[in-house]
Amino acid sequence: MSKKVLIIGYVWPEPTSSAAGRRMMQLIEFFKLNGYDVHFSTPCVRTENAYPLEKIGVAIQPIAVNDSSFDEYISKLKPSVVLFDRYMMEEQFGWRVQEQCPNAITILDTEDLHSLRKKRKAELNSKPSSKNDELELRELASIYRSDLSLIISKFEVDYLLEKGIPYSQLLYVPFMEDSIKGNKFVKVGDRMHFITIGSFLHDPNVDGIRYLKKSIWPLIRKKIPHVEMHIYGSYLSSKVEQLTNLTEGFIIKGWAEDASHVMSQAKVCLSPLRFGAGLKGKFIDAMKNGTPIVTTSIGAEGMMNGDHWPGYISDDPAEIANKAVKLYLDENIWRQKQNLGIKVIEEEFSKTKFHQILKSKLFELKAQLSQHRKANKVGQILKLNTLRSSKYMSKWIEEKNKN
């Protein structure tokens, strides 16, 4: 009998629009390479930039929240593994999976810790909120209820361990990239300008762009008068587009048909993020295209730091500007940082390495699922409570919708 994995997506994967979309495609690739029949379901409306999953042999099934039709669907499918795309999907469908397919291994892909990102945003704006504490509890509860949670950042693994999550419930799986050794990059002399890229729906990206324009870019332009800052991203809004100032060389470019191409043509990736969580897909893109990076400690978090970073890290706007100018003008330093980026991809984000780690963990879980669950007492308690509360709330909503 063939192995089946059901992925319950929060959204349709858009690998050309977001790091989360690329992450999902990498997980789909892992399951396909390891002999699974891959099924993808989501209550989200299909988007224009959604990847055509059918073309790579992924079965598609629309689903709805608070609807028992999902029970019928999953009971017939009988997946051996169910992967929840972010905690919201585990909250909505976890209890149904538990009822219909109790022996299926449940995996939560956190993408990044949403509560951590929102908490940092609130701290930056000096607006602490009890809602962020509640969100953290929801996210932690989802991690406890799942058999395994995939964590994309080393920092977030340590963060969750400090919160009391058992190590056996977590698996560090970052972006899983092909080797770039031997790749031919665009030469430094053929490159121009600074670049950043990222979805304009993502708050940290928009905040970083505004911060860059106000506090950093004027300092760079004083030292390199004719240089330009090119900003690419999906879902461009009029508010972001209005940040363009041609006189200052600050240009909102919008959607990039080929993100790798525009990244490979730029000389430096400059992205001073002030809050956020997880890993930054733009920096993976930069390293894969031989483009050094200047960012903040939040930007580099969970990837690499200090002398091993393929560029510079600073949280001071003046220093960020100075380092960016230095990297842009000094070709010897530029080449050194480019080589560091190649090393980081090879050593820290190897697809071969993390495919094997994930494969071994799934084999271990399959062999010891009962013992694994018995050891997770908090998870057992939360599953029982959720099964009772979420189940009857969902059924009440379903009946209300019918009437």
Distance CA 263, CA 337 (A): 15
Distance CA 265, CA 263 (A): 5
Tokens of 53: 């999953």
Q: Could you tell me if residue 97 is inside a domain?
A: yes
With left for phi above 0 and alpha for psi between -120 and 50, is residue 324 left, alpha or beta? alpha
**How many Å separate Cα 107 from the centre of its chain?**
16
> Are 335 and 375 part of one and the same domain?
no
Domain hosting 49: range is 3-176+351-402
**What DSSP state is assigned to residue 167?**
G
Total tally of structural domains belonging to the chain: 2
Tokens of 94: 């976890």
pLDDT given for residue 164 in this prediction: 95
pLDDT tens column, 209-244: 999 999 999 999 999 999 999 999 999 999 999 999
> Are 150 and 198 part of one and the same domain?
no
> Are 157 and 290 part of one and the same domain?
no
Average pLDDT taken over every residue of the chain: 94
> Are 277 and 389 part of one and the same domain?
no
> Are 338 and 376 part of one and the same domain?
no
Beta pairing class for 250-254 and 229-232: parallel
> Are 258 and 307 part of one and the same domain?
yes
CB atoms within 10 A of CB 55: 7
pLDDT at 264 exceeding the cut of 90: yes
In contact, 101 and 79? CB cutoff 8 Å: yes
Distance CA 43, CA 41 (A): 7
In contact, 204 and 274? CB cutoff 8 Å: yes
User: Could you tell me which of 270, 225, 268, 272 has the C-alpha nearest to residue 249?
Assistant: 225
Domain's final residue, options 348, 368, 391: 348
With left for phi above 0 and alpha for psi between -120 and 50, is residue 25 left, alpha or beta? alpha
> Are 158 and 241 part of one and the same domain?
no
In contact, 345 and 284? CB cutoff 8 Å: yes
Domain's final residue, options 348, 372, 394: 348
Residue 200: which residues within 8 A CB-CB, separation 6 or more? 206, 233, 234, 235, 236, 237, 240
Query: What is the number of residues in the chain?
Result: 403
Q: Find the CATH number of the domain harbouring 284.
A: 3.40.50.2000
pLDDT at 6 exceeding the cut of 70: yes
> Are 242 and 156 part of one and the same domain?
no
Tokens of 271: 């992205």
pLDDT tens column, 181-217: 989 999 999 999 999 999 999 999 999 999 999 999 9
Q: Is 141 exposed, middle or buried (0-12, 13-18, 19+ CB in 10 A)?
A: buried
Q: Could you tell me if residue 181 is inside a domain?
A: no
Q: Could you tell me if residue 110 is inside a domain?
A: yes
Q: Could you tell me if residue 133 is inside a domain?
A: yes
Percent of the chain clearing pLDDT 90 (strictly above): 87
Distance CA 55, CA 300 (A): 35
Residue 383: which residues within 8 A CB-CB, separation 6 or more? 95, 98, 145
Residues facing residue 350 across a β-bridge? 177
Tokens of 311: 């560029």
Stronger pLDDT, 205 or 403, i.e. the higher one? 205
Tokens of 73: 């669907």
In contact, 233 and 199? CB cutoff 8 Å: yes
Strand, helix or coil at 129?
A: coil
> Are 163 and 195 part of one and the same domain?
no
Tokens of 25: 């495609």
Orientation angle between helical segments 114-124 and 203-211, nearest 10 degrees: 30
pLDDT given for residue 397 in this prediction: 77
Q: Could you tell me if residue 361 is inside a domain?
A: yes
pLDDT tens column, 49-78: 899 999 999 999 999 998 899 999 999 999
pLDDT given for residue 394 in this prediction: 74
Domain's final residue, options 330, 348, 366: 348
In contact, 136 and 119? CB cutoff 8 Å: yes
Sheet holding 194-197, edge to edge: 250-254, 229-232, 194-197, 268-271, 293-295, 311-313
> Are 331 and 228 part of one and the same domain?
yes
Q: Which residue has the tokens 């001073």?
A: 272
> Are 266 and 209 part of one and the same domain?
yes
- Cα distances (Å, whole numbers) of residue 255 to 22, 23, 77: 16, 20, 38
pLDDT given for residue 389 in this prediction: 66
Q: Could you tell me if residue 183 is inside a domain?
A: no
pLDDT given for residue 402 in this prediction: 74
Distance CA 197, CA 209 (A): 10
pLDDT given for residue 387 in this prediction: 61
Q: Could you tell me if residue 394 is inside a domain?
A: yes
> Are 343 and 355 part of one and the same domain?
no
Q: Could you tell me if residue 182 is inside a domain?
A: no
